[in-house]
């Protein structure tokens, strides 16, 4: 039972159902001021259900870890809480059999929520968008601790939606921890948390990455006797992930890119799930294509991509035509690491976003998220939030940079190009 474990002592503020002693005596509630339905959404599990209690355990443990790491010397994700220590803390069990059982329950509960939503999910701002995480759980927690945790206990989930733009697994040391937390968040907050599929959330990628892949990671974390069932359960849930999110009706979030730009939002809505492979042309475009890294005239149009396999690179003219035809102001994509964690491209109509810092460890890149928030003039503003790269010569606590610290040149560009009418 998760009932006792799901309610450990909470550090700081808490959130409860209004008790009777907090209501005036003899009060008769006016029906006209009563909210209809729960704020977590119509498909959210009951607070007494096993699914809710398990998700609550995982989220609470992650929130406590996010607070603890701010007090610690900074380290790379691979040097932090090794050998499944973080996973055991989140799931409150140590045996591989029990951990496998709880992962399966989380995956099944998350699949129910994903199946109730379309292939193109529509998200209301304010919204935080996250890029590739690749199993770097500590970096994800640092972004949460610096810029707000998705919880109703001292976090901002009741005022902010979240989009996680794929590539949560492969390469990193804490792939299962990332998956478990994201699944738990989707179970508890189905109307506020949105998970978008990346090109790594497929069985072929998990198996072809060899020792860096999710398959090998599952075997290492859960042992030869207990990895298979949760591995299949997680991938069965991945098969139900949406392929894109539309924020505020004007910002399209997808993992790779727009490819040749010949498709549109209606095509995204018609993508059939469950989807076990990415052989569909539109899906391949969305998950794998890359933008040209230059706005010069010679990079216009559609070109072959160094990735091979028929994957394309698209120029700024393709992005502009796609956005104008579909009524999109900005495309946010991930899929490629960038030095500052984000990069503004294609006349400000496209942003590449990457949340894992020090990718491959030797790459000294920052991680980042993007906050989409309406201003007083009704414009949807894009605010990049950075997590600075780990400096191997320093033991200081990790630092974060907000847009006010990024320089007026970039801010001016963002103001000119990234203001989107709600």
Active-site residues, by number, are 200
Q: Report phi then psi at 96, rounded to 5.
A: -60, -35
CA distance 380 to 261: 24
Burial track 257-294 (b if 16+ CB lie within 10 A, e otherwise): bbbebebeeebbeebeeebeebeeebbbbbbbbbbbee
Q: Which helix (H) or strand (E) covers residue 127, if one does?
A: strand 127-130
- Going by their DSSP bridges, the two strands 120-123 and 312-314 should be labelled as unpaired
CA 240 to chain CA mean position, Å: 15
Can you spell out the DSSP letters for 227-272? SHHHHHHHHHHHTT--SEEEETTTEEEESS--TTS---HHHHHT--
- Say if CB 387 and CB 400 are below 8 A apart: yes
For residues 266, 269, 274, 277, the Cα torsion angle rounded to the nearest 10 degrees is 40
CA distance 334 to 351: 8
């Amino acid at each position: 039972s998760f009932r006792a474990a799901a309610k450990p002592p909470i550090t700081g503020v808490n959130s409860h159902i209004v008790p009777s002693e907090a209501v005036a005596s003899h009060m008769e509630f006016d029906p006209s001021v009563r909210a209809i339905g729960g704020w977590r959404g119509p498909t959210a599990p009951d607070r007494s259900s096993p699914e809710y209690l398990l998700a609550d355990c995982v989220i609470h443990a992650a929130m406590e870890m996010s607070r603890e790491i701010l007090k610690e010397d900074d380290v790379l994700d691979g040097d932090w809480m090794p050998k499944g220590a973080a996973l055991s803390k989140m799931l409150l069990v140590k045996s591989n059999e029990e951990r496998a059982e709880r992962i399966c329950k989380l995956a099944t509960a998350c699949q129910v929520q994903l199946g109730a939503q379309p292939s193109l999910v529509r998200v209301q701002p304010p919204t935080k968008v996250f890029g590739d995480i690749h199993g770097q759980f500590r970096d994800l927690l640092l972004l949460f601790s610096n810029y707000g945790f998705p919880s109703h206990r001292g976090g901002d989930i009741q005022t902010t939606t979240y989009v996680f733009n794929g590539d949560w697994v492969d390469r990193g040391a804490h792939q299962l921890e990332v998956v478990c937390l994201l699944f738990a968040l989707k179970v508890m907050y189905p109307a506020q948390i949105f998970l978008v599929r990346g090109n790594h959330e497929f069985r072929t990628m998990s198996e072809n990455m060899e020792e860096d892949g999710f398959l090998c990671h599952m075997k290492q974390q859960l042992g030869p006797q207990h990895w298979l069932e949760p591995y299949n359960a997680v991938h069965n849930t991945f098969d139900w992930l949406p392929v894109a999110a539309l924020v505020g009706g004007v910002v399209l979030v997808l993992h790779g890119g727009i490819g040749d730009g010949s498709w549109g939002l209606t095509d995204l809505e018609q993508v059939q799930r469950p989807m076990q492979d990415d052989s569909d042309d539109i899906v391949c475009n969305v998950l794998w294509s890359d933008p040209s890294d230059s706005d010069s005239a010679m990079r216009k149009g559609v070109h072959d991509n160094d990735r091979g396999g028929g994957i394309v690179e698209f120029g700024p003219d393709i992005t502009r035509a796609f956005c104008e035809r579909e009524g999109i102001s900005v495309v946010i994509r991930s899929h490629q690491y960038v030095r500052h964690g984000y990069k503004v491209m294609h006349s400000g109509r496209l942003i590449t976003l990457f949340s894992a810092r020090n990718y491959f460890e030797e790459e000294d890149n920052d991680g980042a998220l993007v906050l989409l928030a309406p201003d007083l003039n009704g414009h949807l503003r894009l605010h990049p939030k950075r997590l600075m790269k780990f400096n191997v010569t320093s033991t200081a606590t990790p630092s974060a940079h907000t847009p006010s610290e990024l320089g007026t040149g970039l801010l001016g560009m963002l103001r000119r190009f990234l203001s989107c009418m709600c």
